[in-house]
Structure 1
Amino acid sequence: MAAHFSVILVLVTLISGLIWLVDVVFFAPKRRESLEIAQANGVTLSDEDMDKIIREPVLVETAHSIFPVIAIVMILRSFIYEPFQIPSGSMKPTLLVGDFILVEKFSYGLRDPVWRKKLIETGEPERGDVFVFKYPENPNIDYIKRVVGLPGDKIIYRNKQLWIKPACHSGENCPKTIKIDQKQVNQGEFTLNGTPLKRLTEQLGDVTHDVLINPSRTDPTQLYYQQPGLPATEFFVPEGQYFAMGDNRDNSTDSRYWGFVPEANLVGKAVAIWISFEFDRTPDSWLPTWVPTGVRFERTGGIV
């Protein structure tokens, strides 16, 4: 829907701007000329009569009114910030269902809003970023995950433990494989089907963040994305692609299952929660499920 909305927004902007431009160039001068001719012939015109002569047609008046607003919205949404809603719990505890976030569109390059071709290079994802991208298996769907692997990295995820061997370039001292240390924060704040989840703190690059682990679930390695020549728990990130994982490690469909995120699929970096709604309700509630039951003001702010 977000992709379709971008195209619709561009079309509305172009059509309304074109209607306004055609009127300014061709028809508005003729209306002014008609008024001048009437006044030159000594015809007495009331304010209402003059307004009728030079008034813009309804279609032009509408285009005139909406074009500046739509153009500003399109520029903001396409090149600066775009709002997104978190629809699932794959990024708990960092992001919750009902969080509304801002995505910085210029973090990973400025792209045209229709064909998504990169126009200006502005930066690349860094390890630990929370980023939005087009789901590689269905680009009409936006996904949000955390950047774990950069191009050239080797990622190992085994027994709920993460190892990273950073990319090694010729002429450099190749770094060793790094085990990402985890420290338990608490257990029981989040549950899944009655099972308490472990909340752990880990550091990716310069980013320290929390993850959730389900101790009762074994890793479904038989479902993992299989690269030729590598065990099921190891992944080599190709050039120009990224390895993404959800912070809710045992409840996230991510690169472990479908592979890598191409650079062309990048949308932007998630930078802030601007509002967060609760949708908790009792089974006998008469409210529709989409109606919020509260606002979590304490969740507004930056994302790490």
Structure 2
Amino acid sequence: MPFLTALVLGGFVAYMAGWYFGAIEGNMALLLFMAVCVTGVYWIAEKFWFQPHRRKAAADFEIAQSQREASLAAKGVTGDNVNVAQTKERLLAQPWWLDWTAGLFPVILAVFLLRSFAYEPFKIPSGSMIPSLLIGDLILVNKYEWGLRMPVLNKKITQGTPVQRGEVMVFRYPPKPSVDYIKRVVGLPGDTVSYIDKKLSVNGKEIDHTPLPDFLDESTMQYYQQFQEQLGTHTHRILIDANRPAGIPVLEDFPQSESCRYSIEGVTCKVPAGHYFVMGDNRDNSADSRFWGFVPDDHIVGKAVAVWLNLGDLKRIGRIE
């Protein structure tokens, strides 16, 4: 068992190293599920086999030692040098290979359940959601508000509340589902979304936006036009780069691309049933539904609700707009 356990732990370490260095595409949900299963088997084996056998060995030793001491006393021999307490402690001690498996099971199970059904942490890797979310923001994603989903399979098991325009969604990137993206929901199933001459309209109604002072993006050290925009009941800020052209190039032939019309002024899309149209708040620096298409419902990870830490700016902590 020690050798087998070493192989199993080595496999997990190799997987994590390969993921970290980019040799393989990691899947945290799958990794945690496998860890729960493996450590759970060891925990059951420990509870119903290994631990009872260690206790029996300690009890047998204590009985045997008592008999030995009685036998020696009958012969007039005293002063047995055996340390009974220390020997029992050694016999009852959990070996390393159980300590690193069964011993970790409750912690791994708690993390798995919390991450799968309550909140999952994410780190913002790019500037597509500036100014709402900055590079390096550590955010919490609500996993239950839009409906609970089966871990790994991501199949919805409860309905939850409907997704609303203006909410910030974390989802599996449709062209590459192993990668998670974060954008703002602009169009719901059945909506017609237009982004023409850098002005957003939903179902023929132009979305209100109010000019704000220009925003300095410290990641690029450039100033951008800043506006306050309202989608549904959600108010947030967006950035516009006046030097970028309004036209949207079609980068790839995505599923249901026939639902979109492109021109030098922009793009208009009819959102299919069971899909969402998403955009970044940094409108001219975001690869989003304008370029690669719609987000299917079964790709949703959860709703981004708060920044819980940014090591470079603690004032960033708070609710996401």
Distance 1:263 1:230 in 2: 19
SS at match of 2:157: strand
SS at match of 1:32: helix
- The more displaced of 191-200 and 10-19 is 191-200
Is residue 148 of structure 1 aligned with residue 186 of structure 2? yes
Q: Is the 8 A contact 2:229 2:237 kept in 1?
A: yes
In the TM superposition, residue 185 of structure 1 has moved relative to its aligned partner by 0.5
Identity %: 39
What stretches of structure 1 of length at least 5 have no aligned partner? Answer: 166-176, 278-294
Q: Is the 8 A contact 1:191 1:197 kept in 2?
A: no
Superposed CA offset, 1:173-210 (max 9, x none): xxxx2110211001253489776311001100000111
Superposed CA offset, 1:78-130 (max 9, x none): 21111111111111110111111111111222222222222222233211001
Distance 1:68 1:23 in 2: 13
Q: Is the 8 A contact 1:273 1:302 kept in 2?
A: yes
Amino acid at match of 1:228: E
Distance 1:236 1:197 in 2: 29
* Larger CA Rg, structure 1 vs 2: 2
Give the counterpart of 1:245 among 274, 279, 293: 279
Corresponding residue number in structure 1 for 2:242: 215
Distance 1:61 1:230 in 2: 56
Give the counterpart of 2:316 among 281, 287, 299: 299
Amino acid at match of 1:198: Q
SS at match of 1:96: coil
The structure-2 alpha-carbon separation of the partners of 1:35 and 1:259, relative to structure 1 and needing over 3 Å to count, comes to same
Corresponding residue number in structure 2 for 1:291: none
The structure-2 alpha-carbon separation of the partners of 1:235 and 1:197, relative to structure 1 and needing over 3 Å to count, comes to same
Give TM-score scaled by structure 2 length.
0.80
The structure-2 alpha-carbon separation of the partners of 1:132 and 1:121, relative to structure 1 and needing over 3 Å to count, comes to same
Is residue 50 of structure 1 aligned with residue 88 of structure 2? yes
Richer in helix (by share) = 2
SS at match of 2:55: helix
SS at match of 2:284: coil
Is residue 34 of structure 1 aligned with residue 57 of structure 2? yes
SS at match of 1:162: strand
Distance 1:198 1:139 in 2: 33
In the TM superposition, residue 225 of structure 1 has moved relative to its aligned partner by 7.2
Amino acid at match of 2:314: F
Distance 1:61 1:187 in 2: 56
What stretches of structure 2 of length at least 5 have no aligned partner? Answer: 1-18, 20-24, 70-82
The structure-2 alpha-carbon separation of the partners of 1:109 and 1:97, relative to structure 1 and needing over 3 Å to count, comes to same
The structure-2 alpha-carbon separation of the partners of 1:3 and 1:265, relative to structure 1 and needing over 3 Å to count, comes to farther
Distance 1:46 1:36 in 2: 11
Is residue 14 of structure 1 aligned with residue 37 of structure 2? yes
In the TM superposition, residue 133 of structure 1 has moved relative to its aligned partner by 0.3
Give the counterpart of 1:113 among 151, 171, 174: 151
Amino acid at match of 2:59: E
Is residue 181 of structure 1 aligned with residue 181 of structure 2? no
Richer in strand (by share) = 1
SS at match of 1:117: coil
Amino acid at match of 1:136: P
Q: How many residues align?
A: 276
